Amino acid sequence: MVTLSECGTHAFLAAEVAPWTTSEKALANRLYQRLRPDELLTADRLFYGFDAWALAAATGPTCQDGARQAMSVNQ
C-alpha cells in the first residue's frame, strides 16, 4: 500500500493497494494523477527520480524531495 497523506493531520487523501509483487514505485505512479496544482508533493529517496517527477508534473503540483529545495514542475 502507498498513500497520499496530508502532513498536518496525517489524513489519507488517496491510496493504492496491490499484491506484494507490485512495487511501491508502481503504486506511487498510479497516485500522481490524483495530485492537484495547489498541492505540494514531498518525496523521499525511494520515490525521487525523473520518471516520477515527470508523472507528477503532468498534474502541476510543486515537488520537493527530502534533500533539495522546492522546485516548480511548471517551469
Helices 50-57 and 24-31 cross at an angle (nearest 10°) of 20
pLDDT tens track for 45-64: 677 677 877 888 788 767 66
The type of residue at 23 is: S
Instruction: Check: CB of residue 73 under 8 Å from CB of residue 60.
Output: yes
pTM of the model: 0.70
Burial (Cβ within 10 Å: 0-12, 13-18, ≥19) of residue 9: exposed
Query: Which grid cell sits at 43?
Result: 518525496
pLDDT tens track for 35-46: 888 887 777 767
